[in-house]
Structure 1
Amino acid sequence: MSLLQVKEVTHSYGSRTFFNWKGRPKKVLSDISLAIEEGTCLGMLGTSGAGKSTLGKVILGLERPQSGQILFQGHDIYTADKHTRQKIRRDIQAVFQDSYSSVNPRITAERIIAEPLENYEKLTVAEQKRTIVELLERVGLSEKDLKKYPHQFSGGQLQRINIARAISLKPKMIVLDESVSSLDMVNQTLILELLKELKEDFGLSYLFITHDIKAAYSISDSLGVLEKGELIELYDSKKQFFTSEHPVVKEMRGSILAEHPRFRSIRTRVSHT
């Protein structure tokens, strides 16, 4: 059984005028089906407005779809009993694009990471502090960062704190929604390497939502492509993406900027297909 199964999910938003809501709902997801296995990363590619973030919200339980099912370890996350839903909320965490808006600017790094621990664990003060220090060190920070506030960190450092918070409960899966897109190239590379290490060390599964083919290529085991709310392609391997003849996929491949030697060779292969 797959860790996560998305079954024929459809979701719409209403349209709005200046004064009120009216008109036909706008379909943002249309009959989406996919699965994520334990310990694997599915990279979900698509341009702005393709429905990627909405899919992430539906999987996280933040947007109930009009139809279809989200099954986590066989349980429907929207119809499961309270105890099961609580366990699912613990087992599926998220890291979002904007590291600053994802945290309370008035609390320290220690308090940010402590929030989920206080909600789900029963630790002594000493145990909690020790756990938080271990988490900070695991993401490349240190004990001296405990008392710092968000504005005292760079974007890359603060995203590391968000990642530390996400792994604090030892989840089975993390939804990463454009989690490196606001970072510079150096920090993108460092955060992607960190995510790959955590995936291997903890057996994590990821849904890696992005518009960046290179980022998806570096971390994903399989790839999907969303276009106007439809899952137009789903590839078991990254190689299949680079040989696909689908016009949308071919256009996406043609947009790759090959700054890195690894992607120069990819772009050369693509140009000959």
Structure 2
Amino acid sequence: MSLLQVNEVCHSYNSKKVFKWKEPSKKVLNNITFAIEEGTCLGLIGTSGAGKSTLGKVILGIQRPQQGQILFQGHDIYQADKSIQRKIRRDLQVVFQDSYSSVNPRMTAELIISEPLENYEKLTMAEQKSKVIYLLERVGLSEKDLKKYPHQFSGGQLQRINIARAIALKPKLIVLDESVSSLDMVTQSLILDLLNELKEDFGLSYLFITHDIKAAFTISDKLGVLEKGELVEFYDEKDGFFSSKHAVVKRMRESILGEHPRFRSLSTKENNV
């Protein structure tokens, strides 16, 4: 049984009426089907407007799809009873793109990371503080950061705090929704390295939603390409992205800046065709 199974998901935004005219409903997801196995990362690549954010919300239980089914550990997340839904909320976490809007600006790092622990764990104050310190250190920060507020951190540091909060309950799956796209290249690389380490150490699975092909290739085991609400390509081996003849994928490859030899050789080859 797959950890996450997305079955034939379709979704449209409702039509709007402007004066006497009624705009047609906009289909944003069309028959999306894929699975994520335990201990793996699926990179989901798509340009702006491809439907990535909507799909992320559907998987997280935020946006109910008009058709289709989301199974997490064998349970339909929209049909499960309250006890199962609580377990799903524990085992399915998220890290969003905007690290600052993802936290309460009036809460310290300690309180931000403690939030899920207070909701799900029965720890003493000392046990909880000890665990928060461990989580801070695990993501590259330290005990001295406990009492700092969000505005006292850089974007990369605050994203580390969001990651610490996400792993606090040792979830099964983390949805990473453009989680490094707002960071500079050096910080991106460091955060991706951290995510890879945590995946191995905690046995995590990821859904890595992004428009950044290089970032997806760095962290993912498998790749999917989303275009205009459709999953146009899916690769069990991520190298399949580089041999695909699909027009959308070829355009994506052509947009890659060739710092890495893999991408340089690809660009040269395609430019000579």
TM-score (norm 2): 0.96
RMSD: 1.6
Q: Distance in 2 between matches of 1:74 and 1:92?
A: 13
Please, which runs of 5 or more residues in structure 2 have no aligned partner? none
Cα separation, partners in 2 of 1:184 and 1:19, compared to 1, 3 Å: farther
Contact 1:95/1:174 (<8 A) preserved = yes
Supply the AA of the counterpart residue of 1:73.
Answer: Q
Q: Distance in 1 between matches of 2:203 and 2:128?
A: 23
Contact 2:45/2:226 (<8 A) preserved = yes
What secondary structure, in the 3-state scheme, does the structure 1 residue paired with 2:42 have? Answer: strand
What secondary structure, in the 3-state scheme, does the structure 2 residue paired with 1:182 have? Answer: coil
How many residues are treated as equivalent by the alignment?
Answer: 273
Cα separation, partners in 2 of 1:193 and 1:266, compared to 1, 3 Å: farther
Counterpart for residue 237 of structure 2: 237
1:263 shift after superposition = 3.1
What secondary structure, in the 3-state scheme, does the structure 2 residue paired with 1:27 have? Answer: strand
1:239 shift after superposition = 1.0
Q: Deviations over 1:55-112 (max 9, x none)?
A: 1110000000001000011110000111011101100000000000000011100000
Q: Distance in 2 between matches of 1:68 and 1:21?
A: 30
Supply the AA of the counterpart residue of 2:258.
Answer: A
Cα separation, partners in 2 of 1:33 and 1:141, compared to 1, 3 Å: same
Supply the AA of the counterpart residue of 1:55.
Answer: L
The percentage of aligned residue pairs carrying the same residue is 77
What secondary structure, in the 3-state scheme, does the structure 2 residue paired with 1:238 have? Answer: coil
Counterpart for residue 179 of structure 1: 179
TM-score (norm 1): 0.96
Contact 1:15/1:21 (<8 A) preserved = no
Counterpart for residue 48 of structure 2: 48
Q: Deviations over 1:16-63 (max 9, x none)?
A: 356799533211100100000000000000000100111111000000
Worse-matched range after superposition: 182-191 or 12-21 = 12-21
Q: Deviations over 1:220-267 (max 9, x none)?
A: 000000110011111111111100000000000000012344532443
Q: How does 1:222-233 map to 2 (within 5 A)?
A: 222-233=222-233
What secondary structure, in the 3-state scheme, does the structure 2 residue paired with 1:226 have? Answer: strand
Contact 1:77/1:88 (<8 A) preserved = yes
Contact 1:136/1:161 (<8 A) preserved = yes
Counterpart for residue 109 of structure 2: 109
Counterpart for residue 195 of structure 2: 195
Cα separation, partners in 2 of 1:200 and 1:269, compared to 1, 3 Å: farther
